[in-house]
Every structure is written in structure tokens, then in C-alpha cells.
Amino acid sequence: MNPQLHTFISVHSILRYLVILLTLVVAIQSVIGIQKKGPFLKGNRLTALFMLISCDLQLLVGLAVFYMGGHLQMLQKGQAMANHATRFFAVEHPLSMIIGIILVHFAYNTAKSPFPDAKKFKRMFWSSFIALFLFVSQTPWPYKKDIGRPWFPGSGSGDTTTIVQPVNA
């Protein structure tokens, strides 16, 4: 495997935890804000900002993996639907993650908006909760057949070398 691709996959695998953690924190902060009818604080906005930054960084690294891993070529050659693994990494995973990141951007824009605090918390909760659902459900966890990646790069509890290669025509 290309050493650069391996590095990008490792970084992408580690960043998933930061993205999921920060999205979970924003969702929990929003639930607390809704229940307590508390004020929307600078800390709430900063947590949403860190969530946004981590998601955008994850997107950039993921795009590098997408292009370097041959997934774009599979789409262009019509091979993306060849089997479950190629379909997941070329279509399902990227599309779900992009939708989740759009929702994260919506959450952060809500945090910056002049809406009443209750409305901010409610919008941030739903957008971060749906994004969190997409992130967790479409992550290639080690227990997922044919697509699983290890919990941590190099941990051996999955196969880091399972890169879907385009079929030569």
C-alpha cells in the first residue's frame, strides 16, 4: 500500500473519535440547554466551532483517502456498485459523511445566529443529533463485515490494509 495513503487512513481513523466526541458534546449541551432553558453561552458556540473544525479537517483527510484510494476511478468506470465494500467506501460512507458535515455547518451557523437561545439549542440539538447518527452508523467499525477498520490504526483488531482497489478493465 502507498505509505501516504496509509498515513491518511490512519489520521482519518483517529480523527473519527474527535468528530464523534465533539458532536456528542454539542448534542448533550443542547439537550441541557433545552431542559434548563438556560442562556446560550460563549462556551456553547466554541464547542460548536471545534466540532465544525474537526469535521472540516476530517472531510479534507477523507477526500485525500477517497482520491488516493482509487474510489473516484471506480465511480468513473462504473465499478462502485461491484460489491458491498466498494459501494460502501465509494458511495455510502462519503455521501453520509458529507450530509452529516452539512448538518454540522447548519448547527454552527445556528450558534452564530441572533435567534432566541431556546431556538438555538433546539436547532443545534437536532442537527448535531442527526449528524452524530450518520457519523456513528456509517463509520467502518471493526465488527462490520467486509468494511471494518481497526479501533485504532495498527491495533490489529481489524485490517488496515483492506483498501478497495479499482478493478482493471
Query: pLDDT for 25-65, tens place per residue?
Result: 999 999 999 999 999 999 999 999 999 999 999 999 999 99
Does residue 166 form part of some domain? no
Across the range 149-165, mean pLDDT stands at 62
**DSSP letters for the chain:** --HHHHHHHHHHHHHHHHHHHHHHHHHHHHHHHHHHT----HHHHHHHHHHHHHHHHHHHHHHHHHHHTTHHHHHHHT-TTSSHHHHIIIIIHHHHHHHHHHHHHHHHHHHHS-S-HHHHHHHHHHHHHHHHHHHHHTS--TTSTTT---SSTTSSSS-TT-PPPPPP-
Work out the widest C-alpha separation in the chain, in whole angstroms: 60
Structural domain boundaries enclosing 17:
3-137
Does residue 86 form part of some domain? yes
Name the domain count of the chain: 1
In this prediction, residue 159 has a pLDDT band, given cuts at 50, 70 and 90, of: very low
Does residue 145 form part of some domain? no
What predicted TM-score, i.e. pTM, was given to this entire model?
Answer: 0.86
Does residue 56 form part of some domain? yes
Does residue 45 form part of some domain? yes
